[in-house]
Structure 1
Amino acid sequence: MTPDLLRRARRIEERVRHAVAERRRTDPDPDDAFRGLYLSDERIHRLLDEGRTVDAGAPLADGDETTALGRAFGLTALDTELLLVALLPDLDDRFEAFYGYLNDDVTRRRPTIGLALGLCGLSGADARARDRLAPHSPLVEGGLLLTEDLDRPFLTRALRVPDRVTSHLLGSTAPDPRVAHLLVADEVTAPRTDASPLTAAVTKGAHLVYLKSPLGGTAHSLAVQALRETGRNPLTVNLHRLAEDPAPDRAVHLLVREARLTGAGLICSPVDALTPHHLPTLRLLTGAAVPVILSGTVPWDADWSARPPLHLSAPRLDPAQRAAIWAAALPGPVPADIDLTDLLAPFLLTPSQLADAARTAAQSALLTDGALHPDHISAGARAQNAAGLDRLARRIEPSVTWDDLVLPADTRTQLHELAARARHRDQVLGTWSMRPGGGRGRGVSALFAGDSGTGKTMSAEVIAADLGLDLYTVDLATVIDKYVGETEKNLERIFTEAAGINGVLLFDEADAIFGKRSEVKDAHDRYANVESAYLLQRMESFDGLAILSTNLRANLDDAFTRRLDLVIDFPLPDAADRRHLWTKSLGTQVPLSPDLDLDFCAESFELAGGNIRSIAITAAYLAATAGTEITMPLLIRATQREYQKLGRLTLASEFGPYLDLS
């Protein structure tokens, strides 16, 4: 409690002592042990005979120095006196007995409105004085004072100071338990950036700011830096938790009171977590009497607030800054042979996510030899992904490498170029400002075209593994809908969730939804063209890495193909590549007969890698059933089964001397 408030409290105590002494002097039976439990006949007659003179011009209070609490809530000197009258029972339990005696009811041990006004030298009929305790008054509206027993007449309603206000006046900094779970500790701050525009705006009275933040943006760090430069403490609110609160409006009132008590500003994110159902809550938040800085990835909606916000964009960390934050959070030194800048380049993470990723990597290292490896770093970064996209796409943790690919040299080169685009997009599109206009994002998109089984999906997995990212395969069955407009909604949900994760998004059989626009002959053609046009626009604004695969490149819209960064063709393998594929598919763990003629298989059977892999698995099952190693007859039989699946004839020109084994 400040010296000013302590001095005021002592004066209130003197008034209470005087009121009690006066009550005892005028009480006909002051020593009655049951005083307060009943009213005697003598007391009733005395109250009836007692007159009262209303002094509407009584002074409000003297001119003591305004306290910090008064400045924050706009209190008058009278407000402070009334607050102290209600506060005294929480500071000294003797005042419960005093107030019970003065209320003539030992069960009512808090001051009533009438008693509080009387102790401040005011009449209960003074309209100005009554207004200081009305619902719209600074004391009540600000949450500093609660009026109870609302069913009673105004003057006999009890006054109570909330526990959080009492603890604050006594010097406690612990937040209100009701909203403590909504607050998060200050994130790891990013390297200092130029926050002067935001700092100047808040200093000049900008109480509402919206920071549009991309994936991996530094909105929180920028807001923290600006508030501290204005002399305010940052109070960070997790809007995901607020959206799940059973009484969000009440929580907002308590959060605003907490900010005013502590001289803080509110930093609230992400605004994307609040649905249209939470619009009243959001309007309460944006109308708060403290600086409020909101951040999110979606554009500002004018319905969110009755007052316009200041619009700013938060910068994104570059790879070197990410590496510095990650290294600072690691509990130990980073091995000299690890290039953090290169490993973290594909991951768009906030400072707090980078710190969590470093700690997760350190924990993962304990499962092995305790030494930190690149896989631990990638796994720690992937662990920061939200789980929302898992409901819309199948997540694959990459387990293949470049060595597992058997492709022509030019195709491999283009795949390496695609990985390089994803790794260096911040430098090229951000630092070097090579991003075109038109609302295009920093995403990278590519088309993999080729027959089934030529390695398109495996190549996407290899690129994800090379970047240390997860691969998300979109199930088109969950996207395409017969009802008009539903396909676009499903795709929007996928792109929205994908924007919040660090991963590779794979649309398999993409020609089903990215097909050519056609001449409009009926309503179906018109809506199909709307879908294609929407997809063209949405792909351009996507900030992630998207790979489309198709068996029918000719079916794709030309305008869509033009917007892709790379179009990579996957041809059927030649004989030399097929020989490598046979060897890789059979592996080193399966027992193989010396009579296997893999050169013959590679030369004679013109198959894609996926078909060869399927034959190898079928042959392994046949060998396991027979209890033998994989022999040439088993391999030929498995090949014939694959031919049957493909609807191909078993020709002597292909099977040659092994035709009888099929």
Structure 2
Amino acid sequence: MTAAVEYFGLRLSLVEHRVRKAVTLRQSTDPDPGDPLRGLHISDAAARRLAEDPDTGPLPDLVDREARDAAEEVADRAEKDGEPVPLRRLAAEFGLLVLDVELLLTALLPDLDRRYEKLYGYLNDDVTRPRATAGLAIELCGVPPYLGAARARLTAGCPLVDGGLLLVEDADRPFLTRTLRVPDRVAAHLLGDDRPDPRLARPLRPVPDPGWEPAGAAGLAAAIRAGHRLSYVHDPAGGAAEDLAAAALTTAGHLALRLDLDTAAADTVAAAVLEARLAGAGLIAGPVDPARLTVLDGLLDAAAPVVLTGRSRWDPLWAEQSPVLLTAPPVGTARRVALWQGSLARTGARAADGVDVARELSPYTLTAPQARRAAAVAVQQALLDGVDRIEAGHIRTGVRSQNAAGLEQLARRVEPGVTWDDLVVPEDVGRQLHDLAGRVRHREQVLGGWRLRPGGGRGRGVTGLFAGDSGTGKTMSAEVIAADLGLDLYVVDLSTVVDKYVGQTEKNLERIFTEAAGVNGVLLFDEADAIFGKRSEVSDAHDRYANMESAYLLQRMESFDGVAILTTNLRANLDEAFIRRLDVIVDFPVPDQAQRRALWDHCLGVELPRAADVDLDRCARVYELSGGAIRACAVSAGYLAAAAGGPVTMAQLIAAAEREYRKLGRLLPIG
């Protein structure tokens, strides 16, 4: 038996001794000890005794001071040997008085030995009440039940109740007959079982020491050591808020527990605070949602250190007290690579030869936990593929796995399936597209490291405009760029954005931009002139509100930290203010004859068999079609070939091209 267990047993034996003396005293004063209905009714003799002697006073000599001093010597010896003593640590953490500890152990006894359920039922004179009541517990501790200071130890405002160590139930009963119960988690902790409350299996998780110290962690640790219980870390996209908080708590001598406020309710928040105090830990709680501030009620005044995190800056109206405020630094590419390689090293995996991890991770905005989880997914994907090295595709799959699903409710997600080889565009257009991809890869160095970002609250986003006739390759180019960067393409559905009610369009756009900030993807606004159109002279209320939408978009695009591409058939329809704020503008011309020839060849592919009479030079010369129209012709010709049961013929290509001309409302060419 360890010294800590011996100490706990000695303290419980004192309570047992008091209970046995109380039973003996009750038996000696009971006018009818043989009453078969004891606890179910009040006999005449019992009523007469109560009326004549309403208060027998506290039980004499119930606290054996010598025995308690001997128990404390055992606890001293255990702590000297480095052995934790849960009861003593609990008393220190929660600021319990000697009386508080006695009350706690008195209420705990029936949970440890079922004999005491019957004994408490006897002392309560009610067999249906097998737990200690407030009055019985106070009496067993040798204190008069009418003493206000003793009663106050079982009310709100005192550590037993406020700390969640003791539940005072049956609020509709008189105070002295209210039932006391020790929560199962507290009882388990005192018995040496520190498994978390099952309710916290999802929202609460331990956070290990991150192994690095983000900027601001040392200052936050000093504030926590100085007694500042509440802190708030503003966590912009790609910030290191969780690692900053974990490093600060570790430096301050606390374990770190992460509480997910998205899935937490009021009761789980209270359980998480209790868990933190039992473990001597601090809580990292986030993300703070201004729309769900009620979940913060149990955290703002928590006795454990609490570090809140959130995308929004702290609003003084959220709480009366002012927390320690700081902003999390971004997780740079070098740090992401270090986190990634550290995660791979722990699993024994490593990147394949020729895979530049820094280059692959450069387009992404990842928090430190996301980088670690993405590395774990990459390792799993490599195992599924039967290889022992991490390829570039595994890295991209790992990053995509960290994308939240919220944006998919507002935009259509497209997993890119094309590459630069599939794109047929003029050389200067291709050069501009590569330049746009390069901006995404190097924006951290240019805008962050070299500080070439202008002021005015501008973000680190990259925006481009693709202008040109329908079918010239604008959407496909956006997909190619997303594929090159290893990102998903999110096509914004304008039907979910534009709303006839005033102000609703801006709200819908804000939801899209907010969700996109937490996703590694390319945001595509197809037919963007529908919402990015020119502002007009104000002649009525409709013009005024339309101009307000445009003004909002101008501001929101500047603060956006992601990648956004706008496409339009009519560049002249876009407001000049949008044009100025765009990083790259690419004009897509109608393909010339040589490009049309390449498009015909590429769209027909290598799997579709071709007859000997197929003349792609003639198709390119005669039919002046865009890339999208040529693709439609190739598909139509493929259906005709399938119906005929043979290879595609020139006649079928001509028939498909003529159908496309009629669909477009154009005169058929001669030749």
If the length of structure 1 is used for normalisation, what is the TM-score?
0.92
- Which residue is 2:241 aligned to? 219
Q: How does 1:396-415 map to 2 (within 5 A)?
A: 396-415=414-433
What SS does the aligned partner of 2:263 have? helix
Q: Which stretches in structure 2 are left out of the alignment for 5+ residues?
A: 73-86
Change (3 A) 1:519 1:37: closer
Call closer, same or farther: CA 1:190–1:498 in 2, change over 3 Å. Answer: farther
Residues 631-646 of structure 1 mapped to structure 2, 5 A cutoff: 631-646=649-664
Contact 1:270 1:295 survives alignment (8 Å) = yes
Which residue, out of 206, 228, 234, partners 1:206? 228
- In structure 1, what residue type is equivalent to 2:326? L
SS at match of 2:608: coil
Secondary structure (helix, strand or coil) at the match of 2:307 reads strand
Aligned to 2:113: 92
- Correspondent of 1:429 among 435, 447, 450: 447
**Alignment-mate amino acid for residue 338 of structure 1:** V
Q: 2:521 aligns with which of 491, 503, 508?
A: 503
Output the CA distance in 2 between the equivalents of 1:576 and 1:366: 45
Supply the distance in 2 between the matched residues of 1:37 and 1:595 (Cα, whole angstroms). Answer: 105
Q: Tell me how far apart the structure 2 counterparts of residues 574 and 612 of structure 1 sit (CA, whole Å).
A: 13
**Retained in 2: the 8 A contact 1:449–1:550?**
yes
Give the alignment partner of residue 199 of structure 2, picking from 169, 172, 178: 178
Contact map agreement 1:585 1:616 (CA 8 A) in 2: yes
Partner of 1:348: 365
Look up the match of 2:563.
545
Residues 1:366 and 1:8: Cα distance change in structure 2 (over 3 Å): closer
Distance 1:499 1:190 in 2: 27
User: For residues 123-272 of structure 1, what are the structure 2 equivalents within 5 Å?
Assistant: 123-186=144-207, 189=210, 191-194=212-215, 195-242=217-264, 248-272=265-289
Question: Match of 1:127, as an amino acid?
Answer: G
Residue 245 of structure 1 aligns with which residue?
none
2:301 is matched with which residue: 279, 287, 310? 287
Corresponding residue number in structure 2 for 1:660: none
Q: What residue number does 1:595 align with?
A: 613
Deviation track 1:564-598 (CA, whole Å, cap 9, x = no partner) reads: 11111111222221211111111111121222222
1:303 aligns with 2:310: no
Cα deviation, 1:269-303, whole Å, max 9, x if unaligned, reads: 1113xx63x33322332232222111121222333
Name the residue aligned to 1:647: 665
Which residue of the other structure, out of 305, 312, 321, is the alignment partner of 2:326?
Answer: 312
Partner of 1:624: 642
Cα pair 1:504 1:544 within 8 Å, conserved: yes
The answer to whether the 8 Å contact 1:471/1:505 transfers is yes
CA distance in 2, matches of 1:499, 1:640: 46
Secondary structure of the residue aligned to 2:479 is helix
Q: Check 1:474–1:51 CA distance in 2 against 1; reply closer, same or farther (3 A cut).
A: closer
How many angstroms does 1:35 deviate by?
4.8
SS of 1:241's partner is coil
Contact 1:224–1:234 (CA under 8 A) maintained in structure 2: yes
* Contact preservation (8 Å) 2:351, 2:391: no
Let me know the Cα RMSD of the aligned residues: 2.6
- C-alpha deviations, 1:531-588, integer Å up to 9, x for none? 1111111011111000011111111111111111111111122222121111111111
- Residue 615 of structure 1 pairs with residue 630 of structure 2: no
CA distance in 1, matches of 2:481, 2:649: 35
Provide the C-alpha distance between the structure 2 equivalents of 1:263 and 1:300, rounded to a whole number of angstroms.
27
Q: Is the 8 A contact 1:187 1:221 kept in 2?
A: no
User: For 2:39 and 2:494, how far apart are their aligned partners in 1?
Assistant: 77
Partner in structure 2 of residue 20 of structure 1: 23
Q: Alignment partner for residue 48 of structure 1, among 51, 64, 74?
A: 51
| Alpha-carbon distance in structure 2 between the residues aligned to 1:181 and 1:449 | 47
Task: Give, in angstroms, the shift of residue 9 of structure 1.
Answer: 3.2
CA contact under 8 A between 1:616 and 1:635: conserved in structure 2?
yes
The residue aligned with 1:79 is 100
CA offset at residue 191 of structure 1? Answer: 3.2
Using the TM superposition, give the Cα deviation of residue 20 of structure 1 relative to its aligned residue in structure 2, in angstroms. Answer: 2.2
Which range moves more in the overlay, 1-10 or 142-151? 1-10
Name the aligned partner's letter for residue 299 of structure 2.
L
1:87-130 Cα offsets, whole Å, 9 max, x none, are 22223333323322322333322222222111222222212221
Q: Structure 1 residue 391: deviation in Å?
A: 1.2
Q: Distance in 2 between matches of 1:301 and 1:580?
A: 58
CA distance in 2, matches of 1:59, 1:496: 64
**For the residues of structure 2 that align with 1:593 and 1:552, how far apart are their CA atoms?**
40
CA distance in 2 between partners of 1:207 and 1:135 (Å): 21
**2:183 & 2:384 partners in 1: Cα distance?**
49
Secondary structure in 1 aligned to 2:199?
coil
Of 207-216 and 492-501, more deviation after overlay is shown by: 207-216
Within a 5 Å distance, the mapping from 1:451-600 to structure 2 comes to: 451-600=469-618
Distance in 1, Cα, partners of 2:304 & 2:62: 31
Distance change >3 Å, CA 37–CA 517, structure 1 → 2: closer
Q: Is the 8 A contact 2:204 2:272 kept in 1?
A: no
In percent, how many aligned pairs have the same letter?
57
* Closer, same or farther: CA 595–180 of 1 in aligned 2, 3 Å: closer
Contact 2:14–2:63 (CA<8 Å) still a contact in 1?
no
- Contact 2:18-2:62 at 8 Å conserved across structures: no
The residue type equivalent to 2:204 in the other structure is: L
Deviations 1:248-285 (A, max 9, x none): 2222222222222222211111113xx63x33322332
Of 322, 336, 354, 1:322 maps to: 336
Displacement of 1:400: 0.7
Report the Cα distance in structure 2 between the residues aligned to 1:74 and 1:349, rounded to whole angstroms: 41
Native 8 Å contact 2:208 2:246 kept in 1: no
Query: What is aligned with 2:142?
Result: 121
Give the CA deviation at 1:5. 5.5
User: Given the superposition, is the C-alpha separation of residues 98 and 479 from structure 1 closer, same or farther in structure 2, using an over 3 Å criterion?
Assistant: same
Tell me by how many angstroms 1:226 deviates.
Answer: 0.6
Q: CA separation in 2, counterparts of 1:491 and 1:236?
A: 31
How high is the TM-score relative to the length of structure 2? 0.90
C-alpha separation in 1, matches of 2:56 and 2:48: 18
Letter in structure 2 aligned against 1:100: G
What amino acid maps onto 2:239 in structure 1? Answer: G
* Distance in 1 between residues matched to 2:209 and 2:515, nearest whole Å: 25
Q: 1:642 to 1:425 in 2, by over 3 A?
A: same
Distance across 2 between alignment mates of 1:644 and 1:42: 109
- The CA distance in 2 between the partners of 1:488 and 1:51, in whole Å, is 72
Work out the CA distance in 2 between the residues paired with 1:295 and 1:373: 34
CA distance in 2, matches of 1:180, 1:497: 26
| CA deviation after TM superposition for structure 1 residue 601, in Å | 2.3
Gaps of 5+ in 1: 243-247, 657-662
Aligned residue type for 2:197:
D
8 A Cα contact 1:211 1:311, kept in partner: yes
Q: Is the 8 A contact 1:419 1:463 kept in 2?
A: yes
Residue 34 (structure 1) shift: 5.9
**Following TM superposition, by how much is the alpha carbon of 1:474 offset from its aligned partner in structure 2, in angstroms?**
0.9
Counterpart code for 1:123: P
Find the aligned partners of 1:334 and 1:420 in 2 and give their Cα distance: 23
CA distance, structure 2, for counterparts of residue 599 and residue 206 of structure 1: 77
The count of aligned residue pairs is 645
Amino acid at match of 2:88: T
